[in-house]
Structure 1
C-alpha cells in the first residue's frame, strides 16, 4: 500500500486499504480444490477444520430454464 501511495495510484490504495488478513485465508482455502492441500497450506492438523471454517465454495446449481 505504501508503494501505491508513493506512485499516486488512488484506485489501488482504496482497494488495498479495505483488504484484511482475515479475508485472505478463506480465499486461499477456497481456491485450492483439494481440501488436504488447503489444510496443509493453512497449517491445520485436521482437514475438517479447513472444510468447516475456511472453505466458502458453494455448490453448483443447474439453470431453471
Structure 2
C-alpha cells in the first residue's frame, strides 16, 4: 500500500477501515414507482425488486 511505503500510518489506517456499501436498497426505496425501480436495478421482474430491495416500514401514529 502506498500510504504504508510513504510512512503515513494514519492514512493507511483510514484506508484499511474504508468499506464500500451497496446503495441499491436506498435507490429502490426512494423511487415510488416499482416498475421504474425495477428497471433502474436491472430486474426482469418487479417481484424481485419488491421482495429484496423494498424496505419500507409501517408508519405509526404518535402517542399522546
CA RMSD of aligned residues (A): 1.9
Once the two structures are TM-superposed, the CA of residue 55 in structure 1 deviates from its matched residue by 0.9
Point out where structure 2 has 5 or more consecutive residues left out of the alignment.
1-10
Alignment of 1:1-65 (within 5 A): 17-20=18-21, 23-65=22-64
When normalised by structure 2's length, the TM-score is: 0.64
CA distance in 2, matches of 1:45, 1:32: 17
3-state DSSP of counterpart to 1:41: helix
Rg larger in structure = 2
CA distance in 1, matches of 2:19, 2:55: 20
CA distance in 1, matches of 2:63, 2:54: 26
Once the two structures are TM-superposed, the CA of residue 46 in structure 1 deviates from its matched residue by 0.8
When normalised by structure 1's length, the TM-score is: 0.64
TM superposition outliers: structure 1 runs of 4+ over 4 Å: none
